[in-house]
Amino acid sequence: MDGQPEPAKLPRPAGAASAIELRHLRYFVALADAGSFTRAAERMFIAQPTLSQQIRRLEEIVGAPLLQRRRDGVHLTKAGAVLLDASRAVLSLVDQEVNRTRQAAGLGRQRLRVVVPPGLPDALAVEAASMLKSAAAAADVEIVWMETPLDAEFSLIRQRRADAGLGWMTDSPEALPSPLDVMAIAEFEPDVWIPAAHVAARHGAISLAEMVHMDVIHGPRRAEPGTYDAWTRVLQTVNPRFEFTDPPLRHSLQMDLAFAATADRPTAVLTGPSVIAGSRPGLIRLPRPAITHEMVRVNLEQRPLTATAALVWSGDLPRTLQQILFDTAESITSPGPARQVGRQLKVLSLTATA
């Protein structure tokens, strides 16, 4: 014995699995997402005592505590984490099949929920959205657009709160957890702006070692959590104490440049992934008036900060929806060798076995 108390066990009635209702699972998922009974009850438009009663009933059916109530909200137990995963899968499958049933009855079309984060380069977002819209229309599928950030783990898709998303992959495709499938489109890198008086401005390039000794405005993290965290780790390999400086106001590049130019310390501005890796036009045009506040754009030596734009989706989707996503990724053009393909063979088998 290790002296640890035994986990509390609740009575488990006979036929427990059959006693679970979909509303129990929906309430449980809403509670896990909201983090508190108050917020979950508001989102589900039910009274808080009713929600508490239904969660207690679910715990009784399962026979084990599913969550811990703390001052900072509710936290899942190990059993709760397992049930949350299963609940998302069950609810997603039910929604998909009800949708298919309605379609068969002529009452509606299949839906595809696609996340397009707000920070994507315009050219990439426009092309991907246009291709998806055309492919979906040809298959008589309705696109539901979701404009929200995606983290590096594509949690919204993995948790089945979205079906697919266009975002930044900062690790290898093989590192993504099941059931995600991915096709990479192209590599992008950020723009770097530094004071014109900085020594690196003379030769148009700056190293990581030089940049980590400056304040670097980038963010906020909530806008692009995947690249924000990945690039922080890269910079911390040079200076373990490095942290980005979030802009005082998230307004525009010009405003960030103004804050950097008037800072007490040498300050750089790092954008999100914005240009195809390796492509450097000789001129960047800012909206009029073109005020750069004595800040100049430079290259980052050896291009250590890149992010791969990728289309990611759940491998549990119906084949029709997966084919739309695969065809879209295939049709998006990107220059030369920058294009990479992730788990393509698995998706290609759709056309062979359908």
Sorting pLDDT into bands at 50, 70 and 90, what band is 333? low
The whole-angstrom separation of Cα 342 and Cα 332 is 15
Report which residue type is found at 19.
Answer: A
> pLDDT at position 342, please?
38
More confident call, 250 vs 275: 275
Distances (CA, A) of 52 to 37, 61, 67, 256: 7, 14, 12, 47
Q: Computed over its alpha carbons, how large is the radius of gyration of the chain?
A: 24
- Which sign does the torsion angle of CA 20, 24, 25, 31 carry? negative
Mean pLDDT over residues 182-198, rounded? 91
Angle of CA points 177, 182, 186, to nearest 5°: 130
Report which residue type is found at 7.
Answer: P
Q: Are strands 205-206 and 141-146 parallel, antiparallel or unpaired?
A: unpaired
> pLDDT at position 221, please?
86
Mean pLDDT over residues 265-294, rounded? 66
> pLDDT at position 349, please?
33
More confident call, 347 vs 193: 193
> pLDDT at position 106, please?
64
> pLDDT at position 218, please?
92
The whole-angstrom separation of Cα 80 and Cα 68 is 9
177 pLDDT higher than 80: no
Q: Which two tokens stand for residue 195?
A: 């004071």
With the CA atoms of 333, 335, 337 and 338 taken in that order, what torsion angle do they form, in degrees rounded to the nearest 10?
Answer: -80
What is the tens place of the pLDDT at every residue in 201-251? 988 999 999 999 999 999 888 888 888 999 999 999 999 999 999 888 776
> pLDDT at position 10, please?
54
> pLDDT at position 224, please?
85
The count of C-alpha atoms lying within 13 angstroms of the C-alpha of 100, restricted to the half-sphere facing its C-beta, is 11
Report which residue type is found at 285.
Answer: R
- Burial of residue 64, with CB atoms counted within 10 A of its CB: 0-12 exposed, 13-18 middle, 19 or more buried: middle
- Which residues make beta-bridge pairs with 187? 308
> pLDDT at position 20, please?
87
The whole-angstrom separation of Cα 213 and Cα 238 is 10
338 pLDDT higher than 80: no
Helical packing angle, 122-138 and 319-331, nearest 10°: 140
Other CB atoms within 10 A of residue 153 CB: 16
Report which residue type is found at 6.
Answer: E
- Cα 61 from chain centre: 34
User: Among 89-98, 109-118, 206-215, which range has the highest average pLDDT?
Assistant: 206-215
More confident call, 313 vs 44: 313
Sorting pLDDT into bands at 50, 70 and 90, what band is 174? confident
16 pLDDT higher than 80: no
Mean pLDDT over residues 299-315, rounded? 90
With the CA atoms of 245, 251, 252 and 256 taken in that order, what torsion angle do they form, in degrees rounded to the nearest 10?
Answer: -30
Mean pLDDT over residues 84-100, rounded? 81
The whole-angstrom separation of Cα 279 and Cα 187 is 10
